[in-house]
Amino acid sequence: MSAIFEVRNLKRSFGGLAVTNDISLAMAPGDRVALIGPNGAGKTTFVNLVTGNLAPDSGDVLIGGDSVTRIDAIGRVRRGLVRSFQVTRLFQEMTPAEHVALAVLQRDGRSGRLFGHFLAMPEVMAEVAELLGKLGLRELMHRRVSEIAYGQQRLLEIAVALALKPKVLLLDEPAAGVPQSDTGRIEQALADLPADLAVLMIEHDMDLVFRFARRVIVLAAGTIIFDGSPSEVTKNPRVREAYLGSYANAGHAA
């Protein structure tokens, strides 16, 4: 199957230090990939480069075989590359329905003056209700974000991302800050993502990584040191030394 998302020889340095060092990877539709590595490995810089929030020194980013390297972040979203953030970026005074409706209208090029009238748009409200219902948020759709639990806010972020109809979804620690009692909802939402959606998840929770990923990429000092199956990653000596350590020794791999 041809790649829906590809990175070729991506490089970025700061003050002479290579933070992203000649990274290449490809993902096909339906891929479930976890990107892991120690703090300072360059994961956030990598995501900022591929989403257009940071310009590379060299290299190329492609979506569906077309280069988007010179296209800004909004343009990449329109081409199907959508990300979530490690820390929630929702508007606390807006409702879940308003967040998802705005994403739908932006996707369709109908945002702006029409936004205030979205409640009177049956087709928009039907999509909003369906998305929020799938994530267990339908009963909260008209509550302000400030009034709903943090775990539910993380689910809302996934709903907003899905409303944009991505081809590639980048998830930056989707369960970060969520109480342990609510992480099951996040995991179920991840399991229910569209089968043809390519998903790259940055995550430190190795138990979640092994339950989610069918492929693991390990980044260390800006360089990919491993790209393979979850069953192989804990056996790799470079990965054990650079990152997994006691987790690998404890034999937690699935």
Domain-located, residue 157: no
- pLDDT, position 115: 57
- pLDDT, position 247: 52
- pLDDT, position 254: 37
Domain-located, residue 190: yes
- pLDDT, position 87: 54
Question: How high is the mean pLDDT in each 10-residue block of the chain (254 residues)?
Answer: 93 91 96 93 92 95 96 93 77 93 85 65 91 94 94 93 95 87 88 96 89 95 94 88 62 46
Q: Where are the beta strands (DSSP E) in 100-197?
A: 168-172
Amino acid at 114: L
**Among 233, 168, 253, 252, which Cα is nearest to 37's?**
233
Domain-located, residue 121: no
Amino acid at 132: L
DSSP state at residue 114: T
CA–CA distance, 229 with 216 (Å, rounded to integer): 6
Domain-located, residue 175: yes
CATH code for the domain of 36: 3.40.50.300
Domain-located, residue 79: yes
- pLDDT, position 238: 87
Range of the domain at 58: 5-93+166-249
Q: Is the pTM of this model over 0.85?
A: yes
Edge-to-edge, what's the strand order for the sheet holding 17-27?
A: 17-27, 5-14, 58-63, 66-67
Domain-located, residue 139: no
CA–CA distance, 71 with 74 (Å, rounded to integer): 8
Domain-located, residue 118: no
When divided into structural domains, the chain yields a total of: 1
- pLDDT, position 251: 53
- pLDDT, position 180: 82
Domain-located, residue 143: no
| List of residues 6+ apart from 101 with CB closer than 8 A | 115, 118, 121, 124, 125, 128
CA–CA distance, 105 with 207 (Å, rounded to integer): 37
CA–CA distance, 208 with 84 (Å, rounded to integer): 17
The torsion angles phi and psi of 117, rounded to 5 degrees, stand at -110, 15
